[in-house]
Amino acid sequence: MSKEMQNAFAMLEEEKGIKPEIVIEAIEQAITAAYKRQYGQAQNVKVIYDEKKGNFNVYSAREVVDEVFDSRLEISLEDALELNPHYELGDQIMFEEKPKDFARTAAGAAKQVIMQKMREEERTIIYNEYVRYKDEIIMGTIEKIDARAIYVNLGRVDALLTKKDQIQSERYHVGDKIKVYVTDVVLTPKGTRVFISRTAPEMLKRLFEKEIPEVYDGTVEIKSIARDAGDRAKVIVQSHDANVDAIGTVVGSKGARIQTIIRELGGEKMDIIEWNEDRATLAANALKPARVEAIIINEEDDSIIAIVAKDQLSLAIGKRGQNVRLAAHVTNNKIDIKSADEYEEELAAAEAAAEQGLDSVELEVAVHEEVAEEAEVVENTEAVEATEEVTEETTSEATE
C-alpha cells in the first residue's frame, strides 16, 4: 500500500505539478467528512498520513473524565490509568479508529473531494504559469477558425482571437504559428482564460523592444502609439542620449529594423515621430507626411487648428480621416485641419463681424436666418407656381 501511494503522489507531481502535501491534505479532509457522515460526529476525529507506511489512519481524541456520558468523546479516569498511570482528568487521549467497513465508505466518499481538489490545484498551477505572460507577446498555433473567432493553442490552454483583435488584412490558416499579445489572464471556475490580441498598441511597443536594443534598454523611449492595426501606425519616440538619433535608431540602416516589425504586422505602415515638448511642434510632426504651415491653439477648448496649403489638405486629413485621427490620438489632442484659404476667409468674416459690432456667433446666426428667409421665399414661390399649374390643368380639362 505504501509503495502504491507514494508512486501515485510522485506521478501527480511529475505529470500535473501537484505537490504530494496538497493531495494528502485533500484526502485527510475527505476521510474526516466521510467519518462524520457515517457516524454522526467528527469533532474529535483526526486523520493522519503515515509517510513510512503510506497509510491514512483515523484517530479520535477522548477526554479523561470522572463519569463518562459519551464513550465516543470521553474515557473514565480509571480506564485511562490502566493505559498509562500518568494520565489525569482533562487529558486528551488519541485512539486509532478501525470501524468496520469504513475503509470502503471513506474511499468512495473521498474520491469526488480529492478529484475536485486536484482540479482546483491544477487550475491554479496553469493560471500561475500563464499570468506571467500578461502584457507580453507569446507564440501560439491556430487550431480552428470560424465566423466568430480564431482558436489559438498556447500550450496548456486555448485562447480566442476575436474579430476586433484580428488584423483584418491578414489571412489566417489552421496550423499557422502566430504571435499574439496577452492582454489579460483570468482564473475562472472553469479554468484559466487567456485574452489575446494582435491589434493592441502595446503589441507594437513589445515588438519595438524585441527588435531594437536601444528601445529595450530605455535609451530610446516609446512615448505614445496610435494604430489602425494592419494599415497604419504613428509612433512618438524620444532619445535620452544626445548622441543617439531616435528616429534613425528605430528605422535602422536602410529601414531594416522597422521593416522586420512591418512584416510581422502584415505590412502595417509606420510613421515615426520625434518627441517635442512644444505642443504645437509635436502636433505638426504628427501630421506628417503633410506639410503644416501653422499651428494655432484654441484657448477656449484647448483644441488645435492645423493650417495647411490647399494641396496638402487631403494628405493632412488622410483617407477616411485616418492621418488626422491617428495624429490626434497619438498626441492626445483634438486637431482640426483647415486650408490656408479657408482660415483666411474665416478671419475675414470675423473681422467683418467685429466691424458690424457682432461677434462671430451672432454673424453666423444672422447668415443662417438670411438663408432661411430666402429658402422660405423660394418655397412659397414654388408653391404658388405649382398651384397655378394645377389650376390651369383643371380649367383646361373642364373646358374640354
d(CA 107, CA 58): 13
* Helix, coil or strand: residue 314: helix
d(CA 148, CA 5): 46
Asked if 336 and 327 count as a contact pair (C-beta separation under 8 A), the reply is no
Residue 334 in grid coordinates: 483634438
Considering the entire predicted model, what is its pTM?
0.67
Arch. (CATH architecture) of 2-129: 2-Layer Sandwich (3.30)
Residue 100 in grid coordinates: 468496520
H or E element that contains 132: none
d(CA 296, CA 285): 14
**CATH 2.40.50.140 for the 132-197 domain, yes or no:** yes
CA atoms within 13 A on the CB side of 109: 17
DSSP for 50-118, written as a single string? ETTTTEEEEEEEEEEESS-S-TTTEEEHHHHHHH-TT--TT-EEEEEE--TTHHHHHHHHHHHHHHHHH
* CATH superfamily to which 278-357 belongs: K homology (KH) domain (3.30.300.20)
pLDDT tens series, the chain, 400 aa: 456 667 777 777 777 777 888 888 888 888 787 777 766 665 677 888 877 777 778 888 888 888 888 877 888 988 888 888 899 898 988 888 776 656 666 666 556 766 777 788 888 889 999 999 999 999 999 999 998 899 999 999 999 999 999 998 899 999 999 999 999 999 998 889 999 999 999 999 999 999 999 999 999 999 999 999 999 999 999 999 999 999 999 999 999 999 999 999 989 999 999 999 999 999 999 999 999 999 999 877 888 999 999 999 999 999 999 999 999 999 999 999 998 888 888 777 777 777 776 554 443 434 334 333 434 443 443 443 433 343 344 333 333 3
Q: β-strands 292-298, 303-308: how paired? A: antiparallel
